[in-house]
Amino acid sequence: MRCMSDAPKPDAGTVDRFRTVMLPHLDAAYGYARWLTRDPVQAQDVAQEAMLRALRYFHAFRGEDAKPWLLRIVRNTWLDLARRHAAEKVPLEEIEDRAGDGLDPEQSALAGDRRRQIAAALAALPAEAREVLVLREIEDLSYKRIAVVLDLPIGTVMSRLARAREKLAAGLRGHLERRGHGLPDM
């Protein structure tokens, strides 16, 4: 990890600007960290450390798009912590069931089951595939913004995303076939 003492201490104006520009993306930082770490507690640690790093180095932010800048810091923080601790990943906890607005109990249960199936299939993907899918489908980043976060050419992002979608669909098909259900034609 880099020594943070080489960065200037943020003044009150910098802190106010940071709050305005970066704090709206805190949920995205935590959500991305959650998918990377596969552990909600570790994700809190990663997101918190990333926010501290972002504040510490906010002087280097040049007004470009804040969300990809912050998510890149989240990714680098996670990589640094993973290298430092050589930690074993904890399995992804099930996504919490949330009753849908206006859904009856049966529809709500089916929707919760679908969310769990998708989350399990997503969690079973290799990290590279899971990461690009989370950034595109959950965080709703453009290819260009994903390229910034992952430090990759846009063409590589597009091909990884296509392969990741294929792997996710195959995983979902396999799950449905094991349960005796067919997958509807798309």
From CA 91, how far away is CA 123, in angstroms rounded? 8
Count of domains for the chain: 2
Question: 20 and 79 share a domain?
Answer: yes
Question: 75 and 121 share a domain?
Answer: no
**Token pair for 102:** 């206006």
pTM of the model: 0.63
Position 92 scores a pLDDT of 37
Position 164 scores a pLDDT of 92
Question: 80 and 127 share a domain?
Answer: no
Question: 113 and 167 share a domain?
Answer: yes
From CA 151, how far away is CA 131, in angstroms rounded? 13
Domain boundary among 30, 50, 85: 85
Inside any domain, residue 99: no
Question: 80 and 139 share a domain?
Answer: no
Position 62 scores a pLDDT of 85
Question: 52 and 114 share a domain?
Answer: no
Nearest in space to 124 (alpha carbons), one of 58, 186, 75, 178: 178
pLDDT in tens, 105-114: 666 666 667 7
Inside any domain, residue 120: yes
Mean pLDDT estimate for the chain: 80
Question: 70 and 122 share a domain?
Answer: no
Question: 71 and 133 share a domain?
Answer: no
Question: 78 and 119 share a domain?
Answer: no
Inside any domain, residue 1: no
pLDDT in tens, 38-93: 889 999 999 999 999 999 989 888 877 899 999 999 999 988 887 776 534 444 33
Nearest in space to 47 (alpha carbons), one of 69, 24, 75: 75
Averaged pLDDT, 94-102:
38
State the CATH number of the domain containing residue 63.
Answer: 1.10.1740.10
Domain of 42? 7-85
Position 100 scores a pLDDT of 42
Per-range mean pLDDT, top range of 5-19, 105-119, 133-147: 133-147
State the CATH number of the domain containing residue 112.
Answer: 1.10.10.10
Averaged pLDDT, 147-175:
90
From CA 116, how far away is CA 94, in angstroms rounded? 6
Inside any domain, residue 59: yes
Position 96 scores a pLDDT of 34
Inside any domain, residue 159: yes
Placement of tokens 């979608």 in the chain: 165
Position 48 scores a pLDDT of 95
| Confidence at 5, pLDDT banded by 50, 70, 90 | low
Question: 142 and 78 share a domain?
Answer: no
Four-CA torsion 160, 81, 1, 27, nearest 10 degrees: 70
Domain boundary among 50, 85, 120: 85
Position 105 scores a pLDDT of 67
Inside any domain, residue 100: no
Contact assessment for residue 182 and residue 176, using Cβ atoms and an 8 Å cutoff = yes
From CA 115, how far away is CA 119, in angstroms rounded? 6
| Confidence at 159, pLDDT banded by 50, 70, 90 | very high
**Token pair for 136:** 């595109």
Rounded to 10 deg, the angle between the 154-178 and 105-124 helix axes is 120
| Confidence at 103, pLDDT banded by 50, 70, 90 | low
